[in-house]
Structure 1
Amino acid sequence: MSTVLRVLVVDDQPLMRSGFSMMLGVEPDLEVIGDAADGAQAVEMCRRLRPDVVLMDVQMPGTDGIEATRLITGEALARVLILTTFDRDDYLFDALRAGAGGFLLKNSDPQDLVDGVRAVGHGHALLAPEVTRRVIERLTAPTAPDPGDGSPAPEGSRPAALDELTARETEVLRLVARGLSNAEIARTLVVGEATVKTHVSACLSKLHLRDRVQAVVLAYEAGLVQPGE
């Protein structure tokens, strides 16, 4: 990947596209190579221009951001950073499953947006704190009578691959699900950051996960982490 990250901005509102493009374009390590008004146009431009990062709106006419994300990540055309307003929670979780690598809110600070584009562009998963809380709320909302005693998730919702993790790997996965960075995990466990990276990589490999975003989803869906921990 080049030093300068090439960015495609996708939003159905011209003012939003213009604003995001100007915001990102002034950064020396970011280059906005184009913008698209809908998902279909975004996919076509990704195939033609091969950006490093797509800044993707969700709710758009025609091909929405979820389907566009699925196509873009499915063809490994670019990494996708979703920018959402949470108008539809189901969009967020569908986009997670579609392969998005990061999520920010449209009311985020400009610097958070810039840093988010950089993070996703360099292969790091990103969940804004507000997004993490929303993910947790959604994934832990009871769909059946809840015993309320912290008992494990119902059988069938816990992947068997979790049993392949070592005790330390499971501990690291829980900390990842709580939103800690590798450096914070290293301080918590009093180990080196390189050791943490090794454990995280092992977790992703054993659980067949693409990135930390998917790890967060799996940990909460499986009941490995409970709200408030």
Structure 2
Amino acid sequence: MKIKVLIADDNSFIREGLKIILQTYEELEVLDTVSNGQEAADYCRDNQVDVILLDVRMPVMNGVEAAKLISGQTKTKIIILTTFDDDEFILDALRNGAMGYLLKNNEPERIRESIKCVYNGNSILQDVVLEKIKSNLTENQEPQAKFNASLFTEREREIMCLIAKGCSNKAISKQLFISEGTVANYITSIFGKTGLEHRTQIAIYYLTGKVD
């Protein structure tokens, strides 16, 4: 079964170029391309889309606002794909349901693997994005809430740290010498304690101490 992909970008050259490239991978099916956030939200609501590549800066409705609608109204998994790594967008996009944040200068193979990873329920946070989040936390004038470590077991804290580094369940299981099933059980426990719904939110909580 192919992964059904939608591309949302206001630059026709970029979206059509991505479509041509991604269609060469046999496991991916590019359903369509759209040029703004409203079109993206409408399309995901009316069609079965597995993963959307969503630009941030678009007319009518930007990618951050579209992500909130898409995550709230559909089962589509969201990857923010942009040339902009501005601090102002990163946390908002991830808090609004995006499971990944990549810059457009990545090789096509990296984008392909990220689509597969997010489709399988893992989060993708590129190194530069993590560094931006950390930098924002240290430079922000308002104090950030601290991660409440006392709520979690030592193993849960280790897993949250690795999730924040972008590790998959498989990578975590290898590093901690436990089964993938055990990792999944710990993550379920973390969800229960925090009220969070997906891995990217765990990463944000671990880094910022905030759950909203």
Normalising by structure 1, we get a TM-score of: 0.83
Q: Which residue of 1 aligns with 2:129?
A: 131
2:94 match: 96
Deviations along 1:95-114, one digit per CA (max 9) or x if unpaired, are 11111111111101110001
- Kindly provide the amino acid, as one letter, of the partner of residue 131 in structure 2: R
Tell me which amino acid in the other structure corresponds to 1:80: I
User: Could you say what secondary structure the match of 1:102 adopts?
Assistant: strand
The match for 1:204 among 184, 187, 191 is: 191
Aligned residues: 210
**What is the CA–CA distance in structure 2 between the aligned matches of 1:179 and 1:124, rounded to whole Å?**
8
CA contact (8 A) 2:124 2:166 kept: no
- Post-superposition CA distance 1:153-201 (Å, at most 9, x none): 87xx2466x5332222123222322343334433443333332222222
In structure 1, give the amino acid aligned to 2:163: V
Q: Which runs of 5+ in 1 are unaligned?
A: 145-152, 224-229
- Determine which of 169, 181, 186 is the counterpart of 2:156: 169
Residues 51, 77 of structure 2: 8 Å contact kept: yes
Deviations 1:62-110 (A, max 9, x none): 1111111111111024111100223532112211111111111110111
Query: How far apart are the structure 2 equivalents of 1:77 and 1:13?
Result: 26
Q: Please provide the CA RMSD for this pair.
A: 2.2
- 8 Å CA contact 2:122, 2:168 repeated in 1: no
Instruction: From the CA coordinates, give the structure whose radius of gyration is larger.
Output: 1
Question: Percent identity over the alignment?
Answer: 33
Structure 2: distance between partners of 1:89 and 1:185? 28
Specify every segment of 5 or more residues in structure 2 that has no aligned partner in the other structure, as ranges. none
Q: Give the TM-score normalised by structure 2.
A: 0.89
1:180-199 equivalences under 5 Å are 180-199=167-186
